[in-house]
Structure 1
């Protein structure tokens, strides 16, 4: 009975300890293939996200215009009664280049130069077991994404060769995406000593002129004082998972202030459209034949100290287009702060 209580029961918490999480959570994501010693394909991604305190309704936030609220109420999956709600706001930029950035000529058998700079608003509906997210992204592909200038600046600061082929990047095209994802805590085990493990699955889809896909995957975690959230993910639309659920989380706790855990993630996508290999939607641009199934696998470590969560993962991505020579590897750093 003692062993069962220690290792098979959920972590004990009194009702007084389970206070409502009224903190904002800010997250900074940085992904780059320099951690794998390359400079090609998905070569850089950055994202900043702010997740609101828990809301009883989206209308209780003063950060949405009133004219927008009737449309939010019509969105599926995120308006179920009795669940906590959060608003999230994000800005980000993704960058893609061919394998040889020293060439001025068009490389016809490699992916186009392209960038995607966007803003996003997301609506989260959750309980301790489930998180539903609906995200709307609006941004720009092409020269007005300023991905060329970003890469030039970074290469100049690092003393690297300036990329020569950005004249062949995709044309300017506004991008609009609607993304839905459900995360579900499939299994959880915790002990009074803080040791624990859990498994979180996800299932989603995206629709827009930038990407059309359906995805699913899994996150596994094992460690000490695992955060009470929905895991750690790579930069992925509707994939924000860092906000703590309640004061059992180390970042909101008045007692446990440190935690560490290992994690692994897997995400697979059935891809109908990917503008970064398919080319522009309404203009004649460079394009290559895409792979219709793409998977990401990552493994890493996450540290929690007081209000901070710091995670690092090394990721592998399968081929995104048919003439790609092999899988792609990159590193992913996530820093979040609850305040």
Structure 2
């Protein structure tokens, strides 16, 4: 048998075998306000994530990494429960913010400054059918080293959008980092697997960081067929990997639609603290709403979400919005 035929048969086998609840996962998530036709505030974010196999799956490979983290962090609430699955996520994330008018090459002191952020984070997740808990840490850089300028210019070039001209005025280089924690719990489940199901869940998270310190809470309603164990769809976008553990249904196909509402309290903002001459002042309370859908076929899953957030700047109460496209592959 030739190697080409063998590879073809392996690929066909992987396509026909449903994803295991214990398998690893690769995810690419893209936030962009071009999805909603605007270009202001949080304008673009990309996250590449890897989720290990569960610690309960085996003693080898990536499962061993999750097992070591589970044992090392067993003192934390919600970790090392004998009835839970445990896995680690590792993410590389880039995000950028820009003023509303990107055609000017002069500083716009009455708006938000240009800023780019690149970070590496890791989180240990513990979950079952009714709850999920995660603890993690991150480190990153703000400034030209983030690569945000090149990324935005490239995206605008391939999409035919206006070229941003003010990146020479972006915030300078700084190292940032911190800790994060998240918890979600299913409040209601209606319907049986294979029939039309409804779920209502509550999610909360906190981020203690020298870039942005926040506390969030929200409610999520989801409806669909063959829903996976994880009851939190990709409502959080690139800000969290809470949607990844248990995200694949054991069925060959599944679909869902969902609606989320939330509230965020901003205790510290690097952008505001380093705004200098800019008149930007962070609004301490942000309301959020998101609506989206998810579709899975075999080992591939895609999620699309549209979001709206109340005015990020305290003086400007206008809402801003963006969309998120998330693509996942079960390994």
For normalisation by structure 2, the TM-score amounts to 0.85
CA–CA distance in structure 2, aligned partners of residues 162 and 107 of structure 1: 16
CA–CA distance in structure 2, aligned partners of residues 153 and 20 of structure 1: 37
Q: Which residue of 1 aligns with 2:153?
A: 152
Shift of 1:63: 8.3
Post-superposition Cα deviations, 1:136-166, rounded to whole Å, max 9, x if no partner, equal 1111111111101111222233333321111
Q: Which residue of 1 aligns with 2:307?
A: 315
Shift of 1:178: 0.5
Shift of 1:20: 7.3
CA–CA distance in structure 1, aligned partners of residues 75 and 137 of structure 2: 11
CA–CA distance in structure 1, aligned partners of residues 330 and 295 of structure 2: 14
2:140–2:176 contact (8 Å) kept in structure 1: yes
Q: Which residue of 1 aligns with 2:285?
A: 293
Change (3 A) 1:59 1:145: farther
CA–CA distance in structure 2, aligned partners of residues 145 and 303 of structure 1: 32
Residue 260 in 1 paired to residue 255 in 2?
A: yes
Shift of 1:74: 7.0
Shift of 1:220: 0.8
2:98–2:112 contact (8 Å) kept in structure 1: yes
Change (3 A) 1:49 1:287: farther
CA–CA distance in structure 2, aligned partners of residues 27 and 20 of structure 1: 16
Change (3 A) 1:221 1:71: closer
Q: Which residue of 1 aligns with 2:12?
A: none
**Structure 2 gap segments, 5+ residues each:** 1-18
CA–CA distance in structure 1, aligned partners of residues 238 and 134 of structure 2: 12
1:179–1:237 contact (8 Å) kept in structure 2: no
Q: Which residue of 1 aligns with 2:91?
A: 90
Shift of 1:106: 1.3
Residue 338 in 1 paired to residue 330 in 2?
A: yes
RMSD over equivalenced CA pairs, Å: 2.8
Post-superposition Cα deviations, 1:296-326, rounded to whole Å, max 9, x if no partner, equal 2111121121122211111101111123351
Shift of 1:288: 1.5
Shift of 1:22: 2.6
Q: Which residue of 1 aligns with 2:49?
A: 49
CA–CA distance in structure 2, aligned partners of residues 171 and 308 of structure 1: 39
Post-superposition Cα deviations, 1:113-158, rounded to whole Å, max 9, x if no partner, equal 0111111111111222111111211111111111011112222333
Shift of 1:267: 2.5
Q: Which residue of 1 aligns with 2:9?
A: none
Residue 270 in 1 paired to residue 262 in 2?
A: no
Post-superposition Cα deviations, 1:188-240, rounded to whole Å, max 9, x if no partner, equal 12236421010121112111101111111111101222222132123254442
CA–CA distance in structure 1, aligned partners of residues 199 and 117 of structure 2: 34
CA–CA distance in structure 1, aligned partners of residues 141 and 255 of structure 2: 38
CA–CA distance in structure 2, aligned partners of residues 210 and 308 of structure 1: 33
CA–CA distance in structure 1, aligned partners of residues 253 and 70 of structure 2: 42
Aligned residues: 310
1:303–1:309 contact (8 Å) kept in structure 2: yes
SS in 1 for 2:213: strand
Residue 228 in 1 paired to residue 229 in 2?
A: yes
Q: Which residue of 1 aligns with 2:219?
A: 218
Change (3 A) 1:69 1:336: closer
2:100–2:111 contact (8 Å) kept in structure 1: yes
For normalisation by structure 1, the TM-score amounts to 0.83
SS in 2 for 1:110: coil
2:47–2:91 contact (8 Å) kept in structure 1: yes
CA–CA distance in structure 1, aligned partners of residues 272 and 144 of structure 2: 16
CA–CA distance in structure 2, aligned partners of residues 238 and 203 of structure 1: 11
SS in 2 for 1:240: coil
Q: Which residue of 1 aligns with 2:110?
A: 109
